[in-house]
């Protein structure tokens, strides 16, 4: 899934697979997903791969983007997950556009990251673009369902 800002900054997020492809003994371990991150932004250019989201968290993220696309209230303005690598924050909204910030921390920061610096990219999305993001997440979940 590709996030593209009006100023040319880009973030690509893709599910590469389960952390444990053949399964694991514990339900929680079975559902960790390896997330590919590719950032081209004002704060730098980098790529990472880490098991930073679970199938359940991707499902919640789908619902969040879907609700925003339909101008529905969201329970949380910031989506924070068990692993602190990625988070998504609603910075502002109107009937037609939403401003979303994607933050990168821990293993999703660049390898050369300054520990005192914050790494994030802001995007302004139309409701149609938010619906496309939600659809992309839904398609990814079809390939990597809860096990």
CATH number, position 8: 2.30.31
What do you get for the CA distance between the two ends of the chain, in Å?
Answer: 22
Instruction: Give the CA radius of gyration of the chain.
Output: 15
- 23 compared with 85, residue with greater pLDDT: 85
Token code pair at residue 103: 């933050």
Per-residue burial over 102-118, b if 16 or more Cβ lie within 10 Å, else e, is: bbbbebbbbeebeeeee
Q: How many domains is the chain built from?
A: 1
pLDDT tens digits, one per residue of 32-82: 999 999 999 999 999 999 999 999 999 999 999 999 999 999 999 999 999
Q: What's the pTM value of the predicted model, to 2 decimals?
A: 0.93
Instruction: Indicate the pLDDT class of residue 115, thresholds 50, 70 and 90.
Output: confident
- Show the domain range for 32: 2-143
């Amino acid at each position: 899934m590709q996030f593209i800002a009006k100023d040319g900054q880009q973030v690509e997020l893709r599910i590469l697979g389960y952390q444990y492809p053949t399964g694991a003994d514990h339900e929680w371990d079975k559902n960790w997903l390896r997330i590919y991150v590719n950032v081209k932004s004002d704060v730098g250019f980098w790529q990472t791969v880490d098991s930073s989201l679970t199938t359940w968290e991707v499902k919640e993220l789908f619902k969040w983007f879907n609700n925003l696309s339909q101008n529905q209230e969201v329970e949380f303005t910031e989506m924070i997950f068990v692993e602190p690598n990625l988070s998504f924050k609603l910075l502002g909204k109107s009937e037609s556009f939403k401003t979303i910030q994607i933050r990168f921390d821990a293993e999703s920061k660049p390898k050369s990251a300054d520990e005192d610096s914050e790494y994030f990219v802001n995007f302004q999305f139309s409701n149609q673009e938010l619906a496309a993001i939600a659809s992309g997440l839904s398609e990814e979940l079809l390939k990597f369902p809860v096990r």
